[in-house]
Structure 1
Amino acid sequence: MPRLAANLTMMFTELPFLERFAAASQAGFKAVEFLAPYDFTAEEVALQARAAQVEVVLFNCPPGDWASGERGLGALPDRVDECRRGIDTAIEYALALDCPRLHLMAGKPGAQTDPNRARETMIANLRYAADAANLHAIDIMLEPINTRVDIPGYFYATCGQALDIADAAGRENVKLQYDIYHMQIMEGDLARSIARHLPRIGHVQLADNPGRHEPGTGEINYPWLLNYLDDAGYDGWIGCEYAPAAGTVAGLGWAAPYL
């Protein structure tokens, strides 16, 4: 059966962040993920996760100045020291939260940056992250993100582009973070794409399209696709990274069979 993790950055936003752990547990979730916990100490976040008895299964390394539009540092040649300090911080949080995977966002290098230099920077930072994380049995995720709707200019937008970076880095604990919403926009043909990349997938996320709301609000046949993932042998967590259309709990009818 598909195992769902609530994304606490996008769900239960009716509540302050630290109160969302208990709300997710009360709604039936056994696991959570989120964008970034760094506004709070690792101990504060861990306390809430333990009290709610939910696993923390994924969060991001510090992505830079999110409010100003930055979306990661991995491929930014002039931000290497900051990126690596962020990786070290993320691993400290992951250890406190017993979280087994971290997403290293590549960012938006911009047209003024030499693409080859950006690529080499991303590979070097990825190797740094993977080697540091591997000491603690933590996997590093690479997520292709759509550049048509959500993050124009993001460094990679397809599975092939992300896996090219992973292959160049040459680290076994680098995995693909497959977001169904992003891949519907950029690639489509979801079932064949999932089957092709399944050996490399370390985490799955979902949202419907268009709108990035809960399953059942858009064009993706999620009952079929979730069964397909299950039958294909994917037994990892599926992060619910969507913006509820009309309240988190009110929109959880689609998830009832899995919670």
Structure 2
Amino acid sequence: MKRRDVLKNIGLGVGLMGMGNIPSILAAEADNSFKGKINHSVCRWCYQFIPLEEFAQACSRIGISAIDLLKPSEWETVEKYGLVCSMATDDFASITNGFNDPANHEHLQNSYKGLIKKASEHKVKNVICFSGNRNGMDEETGIQNCVKGLTPLLEYAEGLEVNLVMELLNSKVDHPDYMCDHTEWGVKLAQRLNKPNFKLLYDIYHMQIMEGDVIRTIRENHEYINHYHTGGVPGRNEINDSQELNYPAIMQAIYDTGFDGYVAQEFIPTYDDKLSALKEGIQICDI
């Protein structure tokens, strides 16, 4: 199941079979045993079947300190439980219609300014953005258009101490035609922008599908990355031995770069106890 498909089903009761497992997590003692090398987060959309307030409580018990991809209306709910929004979004943020198309610039700039201002007021440091689909556009034109569209926003956001973070997504399986589908393209854009508050979201699942060579790529490009997502390959499910990525080794490589941002779990849980799958993922990454 893809992120956009889950978001379409919010409020429709999809996945409610996991609800019966929530009370056991909430009743458990908070887990304070993590080693502190990795700052743990989780993407909200993977657990939309759990009411946000209960999910925030469960995350706090598990030992997670942040939640990814929350809208402004959701920030105060998680803040009540000592959590932060580690990556902000809102309804207007589109994977397919992004900054590589000048026709989108006015709308995106106006919308993002509002989100950036709200993020600054809540001390939310990161706001997600997307390149958009190619639609026949060549790579260089896409970079030029993104520079034009993003530069005014980055100048605005810099004064408010907010980062704009473009996600690297695969165009092979989940997001056909998406332009920012290789680390090299994202790094070129970052270099062309030359703004300290433009960074990349390196999604390990997506980049394993597109290019592999994950650890070397992270080591060579870590200065342009300020956020990571996980997910098992193939299938985008649990990150245990059922899939091909060696997550402890990847986490060690990330830690060795001096990274102090968040690693967010973004897999679709298949266990009957969905929150136990989440806790397992955190434990695997807690090197």
Same fold (TM over 0.5): yes
Instruction: Work out the CA distance in 2 between the residues paired with 1:150 and 1:18.
Output: 29
Instruction: Work out the CA distance in 2 between the residues paired with 1:85 and 1:6.
Output: 28
Superposition pairs of residues 46-195 of structure 1, within 5 angstroms: 46-60=75-89, 62-64=91-93, 71-111=96-136, 113=137, 117-195=141-219
Instruction: Work out the CA distance in 1 between the residues paired with 2:156 and 2:238.
Output: 35
Q: Is the 8 A contact 1:179 1:204 kept in 2?
A: yes
TM-score, normalising length: structure 1: 0.86
Distance 1:225 1:174, change over 3 A: same
Q: Which runs of 5+ in 1 are unaligned?
A: none
Q: Is the 8 A contact 1:5 1:33 kept in 2?
A: yes
1:238 aligns with 2:263: yes
TM-score, normalising length: structure 2: 0.78
Secondary structure of residue in 1 paired with 2:165: strand
The aligned residue for residue 21 of structure 1 is: 56
The aligned residue for residue 249 of structure 1 is: 275
The aligned residue for residue 223 of structure 1 is: 248
The one-letter code sitting in structure 1 at the alignment partner of 2:66 is A
Q: Is the 8 A contact 2:67 2:85 kept in 1?
A: yes
The one-letter code sitting in structure 2 at the alignment partner of 1:2 is I
Secondary structure of residue in 2 paired with 1:121: helix
- Relative CO higher for 1 or 2, CA cutoff 8 Å, sep ≥ 6? 1
The aligned residue for residue 4 of structure 1 is: 40
Instruction: Work out the CA distance in 1 between the residues paired with 2:211 and 2:141.
Output: 26
Q: Which runs of 5+ in 2 are unaligned?
A: 1-36
The one-letter code sitting in structure 1 at the alignment partner of 2:251 is L
Q: Is the 8 A contact 1:22 1:48 kept in 2?
A: no
Q: Where does structure 1 differ by over 6 angstroms across 4 or more consecutive aligned residues?
A: none
Indicate the percent of aligned positions where both proteins have the same amino acid: 21
Instruction: Work out the CA distance in 2 between the residues paired with 1:197 and 1:227.
Output: 15
- Shift of residue 238, structure 1, vs aligned partner: 0.4
- Shift of residue 151, structure 1, vs aligned partner: 0.5
Secondary structure of residue in 1 paired with 2:192: helix
Which moved further from structure 2: 119-128 or 131-140? 119-128
The one-letter code sitting in structure 2 at the alignment partner of 1:204 is Y
| Count of paired positions | 247
Which moved further from structure 2: 204-213 or 54-63? 54-63
User: Over alpha carbons, which structure has the higher Rg?
Assistant: 2
Q: Is the 8 A contact 2:52 2:77 kept in 1?
A: no
Distance 1:118 1:201, change over 3 A: closer
- Shift of residue 50, structure 1, vs aligned partner: 1.7
